[in-house]
Every structure is written in C-alpha cells, then in structure tokens.
Amino acid sequence: MKNFLLKLFVPVFSLVFLTVSVSVTNADQIKVGSFVSAKGFGSRFVIMPWMERANAALKEIGSDKELKAYWGGSLGKSPFQQYDLVKAGVADVAWVMSGYTPGQFPELEVVELPFFFRTAREASVVSWKLHEMGLLSGFDDTHLVGMFAGEPASIFSREPISKLEDLKNKKVRIIGATQGMWLKTLGAIPEAAATKDMNDKLNRGTLSAGIQGWSGMKTFKSFGLVTHTVDVPVGTLGFMLLMNKKTWEGLSADEQKALQSNAGLMVAEDSGRAYAKAGVDLRKMVKDGGKHTMVTFTKAELQKYENGAKAVWEEWANQTPSNRKVFEAAKKLLKEMRGE
C-alpha cells in the first residue's frame, strides 16, 4: 500500500511542481512579439541586439525578468494587429509599424514623405529626437521603448519603367498615406497593402508596382516578382518597439532602466547601420543577378523630382498644427545631421 501511494503521489507532485515552475517562468517572461521571422533584417540587427543588451542588464541587477522573442507572428500574424496585441497584453512588447496603424501616430507620417529622408539613420534618429522633444502623439496607452526606420523605399515594378512619369494610370502599392498623396501627383493609383498581399497582387498582375524597402523585398522574397527597380528614396516607414503599459508599470525602476537605457537612441543607431549595409548589399545582389533593370537618375533629375515632392511635404505639414511643428523640427534636425 505504501509503495502504491508513493507511486501515485510522486507523479502528482511532479505535475504540481512542473505547473508551478512554468507559472513562475511565464510570470518572469517578457514576451516580445514580431510578425517578421527571426531571419528578418529588423529582427536580427535591431530587435535582437536590444534584447541581448537588455537581458544582460536585467541579469546584472539580479532581476528574474527576461525578454523572450516570439518570431514569425506566433502571437499574431497580421502586421495590422500588432498595436492591438501589445495594447491588450497578448504581447508585452511588439514591433509596430506606423503605416499599418493609420491615425494612431499621425505625426510619425513625416517619415513617409518622399525624398525627405535619404537614409535609415536619418529617419531613425530624427524620429527618436522628435519623440524626446514631445512632438509625437499616440503613446498614451503604451510605453515607447524604441523607434527606428528601414532604409528609404524604392519602386519595384513588374512592368518596364524608365521614369517616374511612367507610373501614370498604374496601380502602385503604398506603405503609408503620404506616399499615396505623392503618387497621385504623378497620375498613379495608390493602393495600400501589406507585403504578403503586395506579393500576391504582383504575381496576379493586379498591381503594376510596389513601394517597398530593399530589406523588405529580401525578407518577403519579392525580388522574383519584379523586373524593374526605380532607385529613388520615396519615403520609409516608422517602426516602434512598444510595451504594454501594465507590463511597463509592473517593472521596478531598475528594471525599467535596464530596458530603456539599452533602447532609445541606441536602437535608432543600430537601425541606421544595419539598413545602410543591407541597402548596399542588396543593390549589389540585384545588379549582379542580371535579371533586373536598375533605373537611376542624374543629380539634376533627382532634384527635379524632389522639388516636385515638396508640394506634398507642404500639403502634409499644413494638415494640422502638430504636423507643421514636426515638419519644421525634422527639417532643422536633418540640416544639423547633414552639416548644412
């Protein structure tokens, strides 16, 4: 009888112990969600480095908390639902894209302005500094850990194109609303779509071209769907690492410092370096592949297109007083960064 009870009790005790252990582990875990795979550029070169720094800092102060990544949409696959996931606490931290949450971060649309930012570093650093200046809204229900941007997007077409005017009457995928404003000045037909949908529509021929970052083209395997690449900086997309407000407020002051002091401007600089290198490497890959026609313009031609885009800059800036403040501050910050 004693042996029977022992045999019965040990498995039950083990199950209870395991349940308690898992519960404690989950309580200490800070879930970082991303709809992008672990192989994505932002995952590998921006989010992972931040997590490594932050986890080391948490360990150093003796905290049991640990950031754990959930890649590939395991907490929610759609890029359009990431803000809602982190706000609801399904994810403690999420990679949120401003263009996929229309209306939530209105001033951050500044990064989408065509020909305004020339590099990922410019867009990333300026975005973070605008936040530090208190000029960006939309963060009342979450905590902003870090902000970054991909390299300025180019135009990738499945049809021959030699100049931007060739986009007239063509359906073109956009990342954000301001790019749509600009495309309309060229007579193009803008269409908002997530990258997966862009791929499907390019494959079916219901889209002629898409605005996309070079790293995004690689991550989502889109290069095989297009034949012509128009290499102009037609805006980027604001990326954010947002934390659930309750999760943030539940951390000690030291734990908050461990996470935040390793993010902020450091995340912006990580992004600038990573996406700059990606842009160089991927342009070389496309050129060496010999399957794409790379369309580039002279300095004078680029200046002409930039001048044409300035009307869209002003239109966007004039939409609200807060847009105007952000636009003027961003111009000043860019001049400082460029030494102008």
Domains of the chain: 29-150+238-277 (3.40.190.170), 154-235+291-338 (3.40.190.170)
End-to-end Cα, the chain, rounded Å: 88
pLDDT on residue 25: 53
Number of C-alpha atoms within 13 angstroms, CB side, residue 5? 2
Cα 330 to Cα 92, 116, 119, 327, distances in angstroms: 30, 10, 14, 5
In DSSP notation, 95-122 reads: EEEGGGSTTTSGGGGGGGSTTT--SHHH
Encode pLDDT of 44-96 as tens digits. Answer: 999 999 999 999 999 999 999 999 999 999 999 999 999 999 999 999 999 99
Q: Are 32 and 86 a contacting pair, CB within 8 Å? A: no
- Round the average pLDDT of the chain to a whole number and report it: 91
157: tokens are 């077409």
* pLDDT, tens only, 116-159: 999 999 999 999 999 999 999 999 999 999 999 989 999 999 99
Reply yes or no on whether the pLDDT at 267 is more than 60. Answer: yes
The pLDDT of residue 176:
84
